[in-house]
Amino acid sequence: MNTISPFALLPNTTSILWAEIPAWPVAQLVQATAVELGRGARLCAWFAVPEETKACIVALLAYDADNTLAVGRSESLMGAFPALTTIRPQAHMFEREVWEQFGLVPVGHPWLKPVRRMNENAPANGEFFRVTGPEVHEVAVGPIHAGVIEPGHFRFQCAGEEVLHLEIALGYQHRGVEEALIGGPYRGTMSQMETVSGDATIAHATAYATLMETLAGSEAPLHAQWLRAVALELERLANHTGDIGALAGDVAFLPTAAACGKIRGDFLNLTALICGNRFGRGLVRPGGCPHDLETLRAEQLLKRLKDALTDTAQAVGWFWEAASVRSRFENVGTVFPAQAAEIGLVGLAARACGLVRDVRYDHPAGWHRFAQVPVAVWPSGDIFARARVRSLEIQRSGQYLCEQLLAPADGERFSELTPPAPDTLAVSLVEGWRGEVCHVALTDAAGRFRRYKIVDPSFHNWTGVALALRGTAISDFPICNKSFNLSYCGFDL
Amino acid sequence: MFVLDTIAHRLKRGCETMDYPNGPAPALPDRYGGTLKVDGTKCSENCNACVSVCPTQAIFRAEGKPVALDLGRCIFCAACVQICPSKAITQTGDHRMAARQRKDLILGEPEKEQVRLAVALNEKLRKLFGRSLRLRQVSAGGCAACEADTNVLGTIGWDLSRFGIQFVASPRHADGLLVTGAVSKNMVLALQKAYAAVATPKIVIAVGACAIAGGPFINNPQILNGAASVVPVDLYIPGCPPHPLTILDGLLRLLNCFEKDLPRRTH
């Protein structure tokens, strides 16, 4: 492959000089990207970088089977470019974003509208796609939802109970994360990274910290890499367990809902045992991890972890044994594998469509170079599959933690970092509990951030929710949405 | 057979709801720092060490004056605690930090080393809400961690509804709003509408550093630095995110639950 791909190859958590990234006229970049995506590559990021009065587009691809990433860019342009979306739909949200942020028009994009931009004091949602007909009605939900959850707007086109089309309009949580990073890193950057998506603190913090280490041409000590891997799996356990409980609650299966709601807290408290905060705030810093996991603490963590895993196995067991639960999950909210590949799903939503996609396995970095978690896959693409993958991942992450906690990496907690390299692009991918968290940084001549791109897995996967609803009863929207449990703030940035 | 299995499990586990506030509070991890205590008289002259490490501009020091720390802006990273050479800023391990007024969160002056904890609602409001408080939660430009730890209060361990407090689906059914997030510009209209839809008299509770002052994104142009910029706030609960115990403490203070007979466990 190496000789064929026109893009510059770079493994996860490495960097490349900006000048060494191949640059083509934009039409050629679109064409080359389409060709690579057509033969198995995946679009991790597609974003613009401002260049004086113009901008250029950067494409970051992943060749999962070859365990490498690849980057290419366009020459500076203004105005318009031929849309990649018309050939490769997985680019559709990226191209809307490029248009919104830099005014570059993807010509031929079938549904060009804002991603999160403001119009006075609410997002400029623009037109919604409408189905017309005597039996068709429209249902609007949000931005404020019934539960204690984040805001977003859902517009359904329905014929009776059946959803013909769902359009999701987000942007309500837009805090200006990427804009705030330009010229950085600043004093407040680390805490902003920890709150890109609050339930994936470890994933985003690790992606950022690793990026800073990469830009410094260094890496964190092994002990810190090990601790980050431990914390990442604890985060996965807490969220997966909580989601299984919430799915049980949504189909009124209360034993599992009640038990998992509590066990989720047990897992969060294990993270707090390491760093004092249930979400892992302060656990990861560029250069290492400030907290030590001494032998006694590790033993206590392991003991409490085993108890929580036993409780989880029992509570999840009831859930799988109940035919009433299975029948609510099977063949509901299905995303077919071909669709999943076409729209570029990542993470557990992709694995629940039978796609073997897991950064820990495909693009191992940090501790995952030495110790990996088996990839959990289920083929059916429905709610059942997404619950099933979570349940398998709870087992595998639990097993992984039990092994890792017995074999800690000794050594320093921190290594000194030199200032970030100038005019360099660095990439860091982390498999958070939802999926691939992608951070890309480009530095200027002084080593400050010229551009910082964050792609939360939710950015890829919201389209999956929309597709899952097609042909589904609108009353099943809550369980469909919960089965993905995507981040609104991670998307909105 | 899950029916027998779940019954056996329930019998074995018994009631899992904590005794607090009639019994002891659940144990907090040893590395949990809790609220801060700031003794400005300990500051040495011309020392600005804490001011320059604070990620959220929560610490000020005017010329010739002692240090002032705004707990509302604080995200409890403890960078100031670690760098302070004279131990003027210390962690207390205390989860209680909810306050009724914004100025009660400014620490540092003599008599104001610690947060002035929230007092209960006035008698008229207590009569209305004391035994039944329905809240509509509005998430407006945060990271969803405050929402997550608010949701925790509904789980069996905490069972918030035993205090008569519940989260409801519509602002029309609510006595007040519980706001999380810094209030993104994109949520201003929705927050205003939700507030208008709640019948008077109503209360607003701001949970977390974002909802109080903007949190990690303070002064970003896309946010409004907290709920008070749009609606009047009656209770501030600091934290990033606040521990569920901190949120519960704030709610119970508001309803004066620490001075009256609390609902007893019935089993």
User: What would the mean pLDDT of A148-174 be, rounded to a whole number?
Assistant: 93
Which of A151, A198, A276 shows the shortest C-beta gap to B143? A198
B51-86 b/e with 16+ CB inside 10 Å = b? bebbbbebbbbeeeebbbbbbbbbbbbbbbbeebee
Buried b (16+ CB within 10 A) or exposed e, A122-145: bbbbeeeeeeeeeeeeeeebbbbb
Query: Residues 6 or more apart from B128 whose CB is under 8 A from it?
Result: B175, B201
The string of DSSP letters for A87-117 reads T-GGGHHHHHHHHHHH--EEET-TT---SS-
pLDDT for res A171: 93
Q: Average of pLDDT values for A242-250?
A: 94
Residue with tokens 């009124």: A252
Q: How far apart are CA A60 and CA B82, in angstroms?
A: 40
The secondary structure of residue B105, as a DSSP letter, is G
Find which of A120, A175, A197 to mutate to test the B interface (most B CBs within 10 Å of its CB): A175
d(CA B139, CA B186): 12
Q: Which residue of A has its CA nearest to B78?
A: A282
Residues 18-77 (B) with a CB less than 8 A from some CB of A: 28-33, 52-56, 75-77
Give the phi and the psi of residue A335 in degrees, each rounded to 5. -115, 120
Write down the pLDDT at residue A2.
47
The rounded distance, in Å, linking the Cα atoms of A457 and A349 is 10
Contact criterion met (CB < 8 Å) for B2 and A322: yes
- Chain A residues in contact with B155 by the CB 8 A cut-off are 258, 261-262, 264-265
Per-residue pLDDT for B108 more than 90?
no
Give the torsion through C-alpha atoms of B49, B52, B56, B62, to 10 deg. Answer: 80
% pLDDT > 90, chain A: 86
Contact (CB, 8 A) for B175 and B133? yes
Q: Residue B267: pLDDT band by 50, 70, 90 thresholds? A: very low
Instruction: DSSP letter for B24, please.
Output: P
Give the mean model confidence (pLDDT) for residues A141-161.
91
Residue A206 has pLDDT above 80, yes or no: yes
Q: What is the pLDDT of residue A454?
A: 97
pLDDT mean across residues, chain B: 90
Find, among B215, B147, B222, B213, the residue nearest to B187 by Cα.
B222
> Would the CB atoms of B142 and A195 count as touching at under 8 Å?
yes
Tell me what the mean pLDDT of segment B67-79 comes to: 94
Q: Residue A270: closest CA among chain B residues belongs to which residue? A: B29
pLDDT interval class at A126 (50, 70, 90): confident
The pLDDT of A317-321, averaged and rounded, is 88
Helical pair A295-321 and A383-406, crossing angle rounded to 10 deg: 160
Query: Are B187 and B181 contacting, i.e. CB atoms less than 8 angstroms apart?
Result: yes
Share of residues in chain A with pLDDT > 70 (%): 99
pLDDT of residue B260: 57
Q: Do B186 and A172 touch (CB under 8 A)?
A: yes
State CA A184 to chain mean position distance: 23
Q: Residues of chain B with pLDDT > 90: what percent? A: 72
Most B-contacting residue of A115, A125, A173 (CB-CB within 10 A), to test interface: A173
ipTM of the complex: 0.92
The pLDDT value given to residue B259: 64
- State the CB neighbour count (10 A cutoff) for residue A271: 25
Cβ proximity of A172 and A488 under 8 Å: yes
Q: What is the C-alpha separation between B220 and A184, in angstroms, rounded?
A: 14
Tokens describing residue A442: 């480009």
Residue extents of the structural domains in chain B: 123-254
The verdict on a CB contact (< 8 Å) between A148 and B143 is: no
Window 148-207 of B: residues touching A by CB (8 A cutoff) are 148-152, 154-157, 167, 169-170, 181-182, 184-190, 194
Alpha-carbon span A198 to B141, nearest angstrom: 12
Q: Are A311 and A266 in contact (CB under 8 A)?
A: yes
Pairing state between β A436-443 and A449-455: antiparallel
Average pLDDT over chain A, rounded to whole? 93
Question: Once rounded to an integer, what is the mean pLDDT over residues B110-118?
Answer: 89
Q: Which of B52, B143, B230 to mutate to test the interface with A (most CBs of A within 10 A)?
A: B143
Contact A198 B181 (CB under 8 A): no
β A118-119/A449-455 pair status: unpaired
The answer to whether the Cβ–Cβ distance between A191 and B56 falls below 8 Å is: yes
Distance, in angstroms, between B145 CA and closest chain A CA?
Answer: 5
At CA A376, angle to CA A375 and CA A377, rounded to 5? 115
Residues A198 and B47: their CA atoms lie apart, in Å, by: 34
Confidence class of residue B1 from pLDDT cuts 50, 70 and 90?
low
Residues 6 or more apart in contact with residue A4 via CB below 8 angstroms? none
As a whole number, mean pLDDT of residues A243-261 equals: 92
How close does chain B come to A26, measured CA to CA in Å? 31
SS3 A378: coil
CB contact under 8 A, A198 and B241: yes
- Ranges A187-196, B66-75, B257-266: which has the least confidence: B257-266
Q: How confident is the model at residue B14 (pLDDT cuts 50, 70, 90)?
A: confident
Q: How many CB pairs under 8 A join A and B?
A: 188
Amino acid at residue number B201: P
Chain A residue with Cα closest to B221? A176
Chain B residues whose CB is inside 8 A of the A194 CB are 216
- Evaluate whether the domain defined by B123-254 bears CATH number 3.40.50.150: no
In this complex, is the C-beta atom of B208 within 8 Å of any C-beta atom belonging to chain A?
no
* Average confidence (pLDDT) over A368-396: 95
B155-188 pLDDT, tens digit each: 999 999 999 999 999 999 999 999 999 999 999 9
Least-confidence region, from A333-347, A421-435, B17-31: B17-31
Asked if the model's pLDDT at residue A259 lies above 80, the reply is yes
Q: Do residue B167 and residue A488 have CB atoms under 8 angstroms apart?
A: no
Which residues of chain B have a CB within 8 Å of the CB of A173? 139-142, 181, 184, 186-187
A56-104 tens-digit pLDDT: 999 999 999 999 999 999 999 999 999 999 999 999 999 999 999 999 9
Kindly report the nearest CA distance between residue A3 and chain B, in angstroms: 43
Distance of CA B165 to the CA centre of its chain: 16
Task: Check whether A483 has a pLDDT greater than 90.
Answer: yes
Instruction: Say if the Cβ atoms of A187 and B151 lie within 8 Å.
Output: no
Q: What is the 3-state secondary structure of A51-84? A: ECCEEEEEEEEEEHHHCEEEEEEECCECCEEECC
Collapsed DSSP state (helix, strand, coil) of residue A184: coil
Q: Do B137 and A148 touch (CB under 8 A)?
A: yes
3-state SS assignment for residue B155: coil
pLDDT on residue A157: 95
What does the pLDDT average to over A110-128? 82
Whether B261 shows a pLDDT value over 80: the answer reads no
| pTM given for the model | 0.95
Mean pLDDT in residue range B16-30: 89
Model confidence at A1, pLDDT cuts 50, 70, 90, reads: low
Q: What is the pLDDT of residues B81-104, one digit of tens each?
A: 999 999 999 999 999 999 999 999
pLDDT at A3 over 60: no
Quick: pLDDT tens for A444-476.
999 999 999 999 999 999 999 999 999 999 999
CB-based contact A148 B222, cutoff 8 Å: no
**A177-492 is classed CATH 1.10.10.10:** no
Closest chain B residue to the Cα of A239, Cα to Cα = B148
Q: Where are the domains of chain A?
A: 8-107, 177-492
Residue B62, pLDDT > 90, answer no
Q: How far is B223 from chain A (nearest CA, A)?
A: 6
Put simply, the answer to whether B143 touches A197 (Cβ < 8 Å) is yes
